């Protein structure tokens, strides 16, 4: 029997969606997971539960009388203002309009990418998990760590700074390169290029006309060969050698009869 509070049997810190096979929700979740470099959808659901609880608290406070609400709403708004998700002058109605992207932007993983310490979200996650990132001089190995406004400027490498290679710039499309090239070329050169292109097209047409004539000649040759029927060759029969043993026996019989 396991005792209560065993670390191997922890409770879920997230709530699964009511409609697990909703097409629109699945598509949006896939895009968010790819954008922020999340490991799986459980990390997304965990962030959604945090935001859902904040909204529930805001609804409960709105149902209270004005005096009690003013006393208790300060703590809720201050906690969100620390994460720069709300302004200082915002109210409880603004809490209900919060989006999941605003909370995911405060994760340590995304802050590392925004500050240029890593090229991609997946690379930032690797740096955090391997212990290369520190917040206020202390190593943090949790990518889901929520960074406050005061800690935002204190993010850096732990120990020796890493050498991060810049992103490889993708090759431009052929059309974009062509348009840039045409913009640089003077008008005289453009006219010359057009004339050369017209000449090359004319040469290609003449070659196409000559090809069918040669093909017709090649087709006529096998027809002529087909008209002449080749005479079948008669195979010469080879004479089989006579049996010498049989001739000798006949000679002996003739001698005996003659004797």
Q: For residue range 98-108, list pLDDT tens digits in order.
A: 999 999 999 99
Between these two residues, 3 and 29, which has the higher pLDDT value?
Answer: 29
Lowest mean pLDDT among 66-70, 158-162, 175-179, 188-192: 175-179
Distance CA(144)–CA(211), nearest Å, equals 70
Q: Residue 63's Cα: distance from chain center in Å?
A: 48
pTM of the model: 0.60
CA R_g for the chain = 45
Between these two residues, 137 and 257, which has the higher pLDDT value?
Answer: 137
| Biggest distance spanned by C-alpha atoms of the chain | 163
Range with the largest mean pLDDT of 107-111, 172-176, 205-209 = 107-111
66 in a domain, yes or no?
A: yes
Domain limits at 136? 107-169
Counting the structural domains of the chain, the total is 3
Identify whether the C-beta of residue 96 lies closer than 8 Å to the C-beta of residue 58: yes
Domain boundary among the residues 169, 193, 223 is at: 169
Same domain, 26 and 64: yes
Domain boundary among the residues 104, 121, 155 is at: 104
Q: Which structure tokens are listed for 192? A: 């010359």
- Local structure of residue 146 (DSSP, 8 states): B
Lowest mean pLDDT among 89-93, 150-154, 252-256: 252-256
State residue 70's pLDDT score: 87
120 in a domain, yes or no?
A: yes
State residue 211's pLDDT score: 59
Taking alpha carbons only, the member of 151, 147, 103, 143 closest to residue 126 is 143
Same domain, 54 and 115: no
Distance CA(99)–CA(85), nearest Å, equals 9
Q: Residue 157's Cα: distance from chain center in Å?
A: 29
Same domain, 49 and 130: no
Same domain, 85 and 113: no
State residue 198's pLDDT score: 73
Mean pLDDT (whole number) for 174-193: 65
Identify whether the C-beta of residue 92 lies closer than 8 Å to the C-beta of residue 86: no
Domain boundary among the residues 70, 104, 138 is at: 104
232 in a domain, yes or no?
A: no
Same domain, 65 and 89: yes
State residue 48's pLDDT score: 94
State residue 138's pLDDT score: 94
Same domain, 29 and 55: yes
Q: Which structure tokens are listed for 186? A: 């003077």
Same domain, 90 and 114: no
State residue 162's pLDDT score: 83
State residue 259's pLDDT score: 47
Distance CA(13)–CA(50), nearest Å, equals 9
Same domain, 83 and 38: yes
Q: Which structure tokens are listed for 226? A: 């087909």
Share of the chain above pLDDT 90, in %: 46
Residue 25: count other Cβ atoms within 10 Å of its Cβ. 13
Distance CA(53)–CA(14), nearest Å, equals 11
State residue 1's pLDDT score: 43
31 in a domain, yes or no?
A: yes
Q: What mean pLDDT value characterizes the chain?
A: 79
Same domain, 88 and 27: yes
pLDDT in tens, 223-240: 554 455 555 555 555 555
258 in a domain, yes or no?
A: no
Cα–Cα–Cα angle for 143, 48, 28, nearest 5°? Answer: 95
219 in a domain, yes or no?
A: no
Mean pLDDT (whole number) for 152-171: 79
Mean pLDDT (whole number) for 14-39: 92
């Amino acid at each position: 029997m396991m005792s209560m509070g065993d670390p191997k049997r922890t409770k879920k810190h997230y709530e699964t969606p009511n409609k697990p096979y909703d097409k629109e929700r699945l598509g949006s979740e896939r895009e968010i997971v790819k954008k922020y470099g999340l490991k799986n959808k459980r990390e997304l659901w965990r962030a959604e539960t945090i935001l859902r609880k904040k909204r529930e608290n805001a609804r409960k406070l709105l149902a209270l009388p004005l005096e009690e609400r003013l006393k208790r709403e300060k703590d809720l708004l201050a906690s969100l203002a620390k994460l720069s998700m709300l302004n200082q002058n915002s109210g409880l109605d603004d809490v209900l309009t919060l989006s999941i992207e605003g909370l995911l932007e405060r994760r340590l993983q995304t802050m590392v990418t925004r500050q240029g310490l890593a090229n991609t979200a997946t690379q930032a996650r690797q740096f955090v998990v391997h212990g290369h990132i520190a917040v206020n001089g202390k190593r943090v190995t949790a990518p889901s760590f929520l960074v406050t406004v005061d800690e935002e400027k204190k993010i850096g490498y732990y120990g020796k700074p890493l050498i991060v290679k810049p992103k490889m710039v993708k090759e431009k499309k052929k059309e974009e390169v062509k348009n840039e090239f045409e913009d640089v070329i003077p008008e005289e050169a453009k006219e010359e290029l057009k004339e050369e292109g017209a000449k090359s097209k004319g040469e290609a047409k003449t070659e196409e006309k000559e090809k069918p004539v040669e093909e017709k000649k090649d087709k006529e040759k096998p027809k002529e060969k087909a008209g002449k029927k080749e005479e079948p060759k008669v195979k010469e029969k080879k004479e089989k050698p006579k049996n010498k043993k049989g001739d000798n026996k006949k000679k002996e019989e003739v001698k005996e009869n003659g004797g």
